[in-house]
Amino acid sequence: MSDDKAGIRLPTIASADLVRHVAANDVFLLDLRRSTQGTQIYGAIRYDPHKLLDAPKLALPLPKTDGLIVLYDEHGNSDQLDQIGAKLRAEGFAEIRALEGGFKAYEAADGKLEDATMEQPVPLVSEHQLER
C-alpha cells in the first residue's frame, strides 16, 4: 500500500464483498461524493467530505467498535477517503474500509441502489464537549 499525506492508506473492500454486506444489512456506509447523479448505495448516509475534515471532532451516528464502516466517493481514489478514515480512527471508530473503485465499481457490480438522500449536517461539538 502506498502512503498518503497522513501516512496511512485505508484498507479497502471489493464491490462484490460490499454487495453481500449491503444485502445482509450489516454495514454502515458514508457517501462522500460531492454530486450523486440522483442515486446512492442503499442505506448510505451522505456527508460533505470537506465538512468532515474541517470538524474539530466527529460525533457521527455510527458504531465505534461493533460494525463495518465503508467510505466511498465516485471512483475510490480520493486522498480524502484516507484522511477521513484516519480521523474516524482517531475518534475511536474501529473497522473502516474504503470502497475499491468507488461508487462506479459498486454500480457496475449491480449493487443495490436507492434515490439519493439529503446530505447530512456534520454534528457540531462544543468546546466544553471537546474538553471531556
Total of domains in the chain: 1
Q: Residue 42 and residue 61: Cα distance in Å, rounded?
A: 17
Mean pLDDT of 88-100: 95
State yes or no: pLDDT of 126 exceeds 70: no
In a domain, 4, yes or no: no
pLDDT score of 113 more than 80: yes
Give a yes or no: residue 5 inside a domain. Answer: no
The answer to whether residue 131 scores a pLDDT higher than 70 is no
pLDDT of residue 54: 95
pTM for the full predicted model? 0.88
Characterise 71 by phi-psi region: left (phi > 0), alpha (psi -120 to 50), beta (else). Answer: beta
Position 91 in a domain: yes
Identify the helix (H) or strand (E) that includes residue 70: strand 68-72
- Is residue 2 assigned to a domain? no
The pLDDT score that the predictor gives to residue 1 is 37
Q: What's the pLDDT score for residue 7? A: 58
91 Cβ partners below 8 Å, 6+ apart? Answer: 57, 58, 64
Task: Tell which phi-psi region holds residue 64, choosing left (phi > 0), alpha (psi between -120 and 50) or beta.
Answer: alpha
Percentage of the chain surpassing pLDDT 90? 75
Residue-range definition of the domain harbouring residue 94: 12-131
Can you give the CATH number for the domain in which 26 is found? 3.40.250.10
Residues 6+ apart with CB under 8 A from 126: none
- Residue 83 above 90 pLDDT? yes
85 in a domain, yes or no?
Answer: yes
On whether residue 103 sits in a domain, the answer given is yes
Domain assignment of residue 71, yes or no: yes
Asked if residue 6 belongs to a domain, the reply is no
